[in-house]
Structure 1
Amino acid sequence: MRSKNVVITGAGSGIGRELALQLAARGNALALADLDPQSLDETLIQARLIGAGPLLGQALDVSDEAQVRDFATQVTASFGTVDVLINNAGITRFGDFASTSAEAFRKVLDVNFWGVVHGSRAFLPALRASRGSLVNLSSLFGLIGVAGQAHYCASKFAVRGFSEALRQELKADGVHVACVHPGGVRTRIARSASFDQAVDDQEALISRLEKNTLKLPADEAARIIIEGIRLRRERILVGRDAKFVDLLQRLLPCAHTGLIHRLLGRASGRNKSANP
Structure 2
Amino acid sequence: MAKLETAFITGAASGIGLALARALAARGATLYLTDVNETALEEAAASLKAAQVNVYSAKVDVSDRWAVEAAVADAEAKMGGIDIIFNNAGVSLSDTVEKMTYADLEWVMNINFYGVVHGTKAVLDGMLERGRGHIVNISSLFGLVGIPSQSAYCAAKHAVKGFNESLFYELQGTGVQIHSVHPGGVDTNIVRSGKHLHNIEGDIAEGETQERFQELAITTPDQAAAIILGGVDRGEYRILVGKDARWADRLSRWMPNRWRKMFMNKMTDRSGKSPF
Report the secondary structure of 1:257's partner residue: helix
- Identity, in percent, stands at 36
Query: 2:31 touches 2:55 (CA, 8 Å); kept in 1?
Result: yes
Residues 225-264 of structure 1, C-alpha deviations (whole Å, 9 max, x = no match): 1111111110100000001111111211222122212222
Equivalent position of 1:40 in the other structure? 41
Equivalent position of 1:50 in the other structure? 51
Equivalent position of 1:124 in the other structure? 124
Q: How far 1:268 sits from its partner (Å)?
A: 8.8
Equivalent position of 1:87 in the other structure? 87
Query: 2:23 touches 2:226 (CA, 8 Å); kept in 1?
Result: yes
Equivalent position of 1:255 in the other structure? 258
Superposed counterparts of 1:1-276, under 5 Å: 4-52=5-53, 54-128=54-128, 129-197=130-198, 199=203, 201-210=205-214, 212-266=215-269, 270=273
Report the secondary structure of 2:181's partner residue: strand
Q: Return the alpha-carbon distance in structure 2 between the equivalents of residues 85 and 130 of structure 1.
A: 15
Residues 39-93 of structure 1, C-alpha deviations (whole Å, 9 max, x = no match): 11111112223342x3110100000111111111111111111110110000001
Letter of the aligned partner of 1:9 in structure 2? T
Q: Return the alpha-carbon distance in structure 2 between the equivalents of residues 51 and 258 of structure 1.
A: 51
Query: 2:196 touches 2:204 (CA, 8 Å); kept in 1?
Result: no
TM-score, normalised by the number of residues in structure 2: 0.93
Most deviating of 106-115 and 214-223: 214-223
Structure 1 stretches of at least 4 aligned residues deviating more than 4 Å after TM superposition: none
Query: 1:209 touches 1:267 (CA, 8 Å); kept in 2?
Result: no
Residues 131-157 of structure 1, C-alpha deviations (whole Å, 9 max, x = no match): 111100000001100000000000000
Report the secondary structure of 2:62's partner residue: coil
TM-score, normalised by the number of residues in structure 1: 0.93
Unpaired stretches in structure 2, ≥5 consecutive residues = none
Letter of the aligned partner of 1:209 in structure 2? F
Q: Return the alpha-carbon distance in structure 1 between the equivalents of residues 235 and 271 of structure 2.
A: 35
Query: 2:218 touches 2:242 (CA, 8 Å); kept in 1?
Result: no
Q: Return the alpha-carbon distance in structure 2 between the equivalents of residues 257 and 155 of structure 1.
A: 20
Which has a greater percent of helix?
1
Q: Return the alpha-carbon distance in structure 2 between the equivalents of residues 50 and 130 of structure 1.
A: 32
Letter of the aligned partner of 1:202 in structure 2? E
Q: Return the alpha-carbon distance in structure 2 between the equivalents of residues 104 and 43 of structure 1.
A: 29
